[in-house]
Amino acid sequence: MKIVPLNETTKKNLLNDLLKRSPNQYGEYEKKVTEIIQAVKEQGDKILFEYTKQFDKAEISTENILVSEAEFEKAYQKIDPNTLDVIRKAAKNIEQYHEKQRRYSWFDSKPDGSILGQKITPIHSVGVYVPGGKAAYPSSVLMNVIPAKVAGVEQIIMVTPPRADGSVYEGTLVAAKEAGVTKIYKVGGAQAVAALAFGTETISKVDKIVGPGNIYVALAKKAVYGYVSIDSIAGPSEILVLADETANPRYVAADLLSQAEHDELASAILITTSKKLAEDVSNQIDSMIEKLSRKEILIKSLDQYGYLFITDSMEEAVEAVNEIASEHLEIITKDAFEVMTKIKNAGAIFLGEYSSEPLGDYFAGPNHVLPTNGTAKFFSPLGVDDFIKKSSIISYSKKALLPAAKDIITFANAEGLTAHANSIAVRLEN
């Protein structure tokens, strides 16, 4: 990995490099995505089955597009019992964490007869996209479905591309069942997003679509936004480790590699006040890569988006961290909690040398669906709030309205909206 001093020039170059990974930079795919979405809108199931044959090599029809109870039972028989046990433990942790995010309706009444409040209502139907093939991650099923379930969503419809034999990875099916999915359809790609957004003969339209996917899925979610709601346009994975001389270089190296193995566009960055730590981490990475299964991906990822930055002070390091606004931020310093108070922008923050990023990916409970590509400056992790709607409640008695009427009429007339003013004025007659 590259060891470079952190200054305004290197920081600017880094930010520009990271932005190149955004799905918004891949406009050449948009025409094809638009064609797929339009075809699904016009032809429904027929074109869904054709695309599934073309892209996934699977024969899917009306009879087998919906995952059956028999397929769920088979998945439970095939899955390793230890994996099932871990899925259930993780699901419990995730549920308990998200239960604390629940909001409730509230009402504030006053003696004059006015009542103001906020009504919380779950979104009725949510579509969850789950990747298939080599990118089948049961953990993502739990992270996307459980907050929706906690929020009270009635219909949770999952879509996932089938394997060539028409089956779905058993870990995906088991995680979905444990999390509480309503139905699972064997369809993936932009065509699955279109089906959820507009509906087909077999797949009902949903109100919101969440879940990660490839560039076609990301651009399809972007294209249907407005017809339905979406969670976000997710970019490649990223980790930033903020460390000082007290950090264990072996731990830091392992954590950087844990994200770099996702794909060639993943970003792994260390910012440290210790040159020796940076050098030791670099040596540890070189040693570890040789023993890991995704060696080629790791090398390409680190060559393109791997950095070891050395800075003169922790203040400069924190400033850079806030500008980068990483998806995952680990703080491994002698005063991690104090440093954390200065962090403004990060998707998830891991404190201390035993709080490595995979803890959040799989088990601790907080959501691992996080803002990427600097969007942690204005986006938050996926949570219960993403699956609810808030309605304002307003109720005024005549006694409450009378003192405010003149002011409302004045405001409406000032804006030239005389019908607004009249709506109040008629209530003052007699």
- Positions annotated as catalytic residues are 327-328
- DSSP assignment of 346-391 equals -SEEEESTT--HHHHHHTSSS------TTGGGT-----GGGGEEEE
Place of tokens 């959040």: 360
Cα distances (Å, whole numbers) of residue 42 to 36, 66, 190, 282, 335: 10, 21, 15, 54, 59
Q: How far is residue 158's CA from residue 172's CA, in Å, rounded to a whole number?
A: 10
* Cα radius of gyration (the chain): 25
CA gap 350, 337 in Å, rounded: 10
Torsion of CA 408, 410, 414, 418, to 10 degrees: 70
Which tokens sit at 61? 């029809």
Minimal CA–CA distance to 374: which of 86, 25, 2? 25
The amino acid occupying position 318 is V
User: What is the rounded CA–CA span in Å between residue 71 and residue 9?
Assistant: 55
Beta bridge partners of 307: 2, 269
Q: Determine contact, residues 160/127, Cβ cutoff 8 Å.
A: no
